[in-house]
Amino acid sequence: MPAQPMPPETNRTVDVRREIRRCPQCASRFSRDAVFCPYDGARLEAGAFDPLGDPLIGTVIDGRYEILEVLGEGGMGRVYRVRHGTLLRDFALKALRADLGGDADLAARFVQEARAAAAVRHPNVVQISDFGQLPTGAPYFVMDLLLGHTLGEIIKAGGPVPAGRAVRVARQVAAGLGAAHAAGVIHRDMKPENVFLVGAAANEPSAVGRARAMLGERVDVRVVDFGAAKVVGSSRTTRAGIVFGTPHYMSPEQASGGPVDHRADVYALGIIMYEMFTGRVPFEADTYMGVLTQHMFVQPIPPSQVSDAARELGALEEVTLRCLEKKPEGRYASMDELIAAIDGAVVLREDGHVDIGPRSSRPAQGSPQATPTGSPAPTPTLAPMAAAASEAASASASETAPAPASAIALPPTPSSESPTVASPGPALPHRSVTPRPPSRRAVSDIDDVGDPFAPSPARPAGPPSRAGPNR
């Protein structure tokens, strides 16, 4: 009997690790989630690379790290799975690409990435454990090997993220970025591909990690890829005239080349929240500058008008839209303030449900054609809703109030986040939203990338379509 062809799903899993994107004008290479070249704005074309031909496979670096396989390639580096010879533990090693070794600017950015990430010690930020040079002189750094999926892969596979899970992801991302800001590090390139949901420890099978991250209820987030990070007080390492970052998640001040502070990360997290709730980004265009122009001058359509999945967002919609204010002073002043606003808008339940407070009476801002306006939306809180519920219960003695909602902290992750606690009392007038699990059909469609910096596939943004962001 002739050999049967490999199923399409398996072919896709194998081939996706060889995908890259190339600029047709300058021939620069980028990860497969990129859309536009940051150097000339050209739309990128599909390309490929052969990880099996890498000369480092099978070698031992600095007498400690045995190179086992290539996990992926990004705009600056190639990532390998390595095994420490003494600890017998697997790590991820990211090295500057060989073809970029002579570029002093990119080498400086690569070293800054390692320093920026190493400066942040937080459970929701990937940890850097070692640094050195390859025999070729190219710099490398070693980090935790993460097994699971990026948030981008999860959105691509299942569409909008259930509200309860999305809130937990947003809180953990905000906590990690808050720690980075406290250490003087601004990420500047936050996007779903740089949010990694961990599903298993490094010594567990990678398939277990992927399945848990895709379908499990537990949320354990790492913020990754500080390649575009700005270290406050450091010298400039960005090329003059080049806007680095991902256009679909870039703040208006980044898009216009203005001064950037930590509130650019607040804006980017707002875009990520919008995409989790709706399954698409708020701004799309056919050109690099077209996307940047919308960030600067166009108001986002409220999520509840974009997707059926977002119609029950209530107060979470106002939190998201405040993150997307055009002027930095209109956004939340810090990640702690954003976390407090999320906690004031929702109650997370132990059974996976989430209680969401209603919108304020203030109308939603603008339209896709509107220009930036006005002051930020007020932060919704649960206190007025609790008072209203108490009055309603007292006015009608014949009605029996349902049991009070209970809430818990985030899943057991050693994070500094403060849990949302529901105090005893009458039931709150919230909508109770039951999360729906992402479709299991797409689990086999995701490639086996076990590290945080491996490139991730583009995902459709819905009409209008989006091929994916730059790295």
Give tens-digit pLDDT for 100-140: 777 777 788 788 878 888 889 999 999 999 999 898 888 89
Q: Reply yes or no on whether the pLDDT at 215 is more than 50.
A: yes
The domain total for the chain is 2
- Strands 65-73, 90-96: parallel, antiparallel or unpaired by DSSP? unpaired
* 261 is known as an active-site residue: no
* Residue 26, domain CATH: 3.30.200.20
Whether residue 221 is found in the same domain as residue 342: yes
Q: Which tokens go with 50?
A: 């052969």
Q: Judge whether 428 and 386 are in contact, CB under 8 Å.
A: yes
298 and 194 part of one domain: yes
Which member of 90, 189, 220, 343 is catalytic?
189
Are residues 107 and 157 both part of a single domain? no
Please provide residue 107's backbone torsions phi and psi, each rounded to the nearest 5 degrees: -65, -40
Residue 329 within a domain: yes
Query: Would you state the pLDDT for residue 315?
Result: 94
- Give the phi and the psi of residue 414 in degrees, each rounded to 5: -70, 65
- pLDDT per residue as tens digits for the range 54-105: 889 999 999 999 999 988 877 778 899 999 999 999 999 999 888 777 777 7
More confident residue, 99 or 182: 182
Is residue 136 located within the same domain as residue 176? no
**Residue 46 or residue 149, greater confidence:** 149
Contacts for 169 with CB less than 8 Å, ≥ 6 apart: 151, 161, 195, 197, 219, 221, 276
166: domain CATH number is: 1.10.510.10
Residue 33 structural domain: 15-143
Q: Are 229 and 116 in contact (CB under 8 A)?
A: yes
Residue % of the chain over a pLDDT of 70:
62
Domain boundary among 80, 114, 143: 143
Residues 284 and 425 in one domain: yes
**Nearest one of 323, 360, 335 to 262, comparing CA atoms:** 335
Q: Is residue 233 part of a domain?
A: yes
Task: Specify whether 166 is located in the same domain as 114.
Answer: no
Is residue 445 domain-resident? no
SS3 73: strand
Positive or negative: CA dihedral 108, 113, 118, 119: positive
Identify which has the larger pLDDT, 28 or 63: 63
Q: Record the tokens describing residue 203, joined without a space.
A: 């010594």
Residues 127 and 62 in one domain: yes
On whether residue 202 sits in a domain, the answer given is yes
**Total Cβ atoms within 10 A of residue 419:** 12
Using CA atoms, how far apart are residues 78 and 72, in angstroms rounded to an integer? Answer: 6
Which residue has 């995409």 as its token pair?
275
Q: Is residue 341 located within the same domain as residue 257? A: yes
pLDDT reading at 12 higher than 60: no
Domain boundary among 114, 143, 172: 143
3-state DSSP assignment of residue 136: coil
Does residue 201 share a domain with residue 126?
no
The predicted pLDDT at position 332 comes to 98
Residues 90 and 184 in one domain: no
Whether residue 6 is contained in a domain is answered as no
Task: Based on the fold, state whether residues 201 and 325 are members of the same structural domain.
Answer: yes
- Does the residue 389 lie in any domain? no
**What is the distance between the alpha carbons of residues 359 and 367, in angstroms, rounded to a whole number?**
18
> Looking at 108, 124, 143, which one is the last position of a domain?
143
Same domain for 151 and 64?
A: no
Nearest CA-CA partner of 217 in 177, 259, 161: 161
| 470 inside domain | no
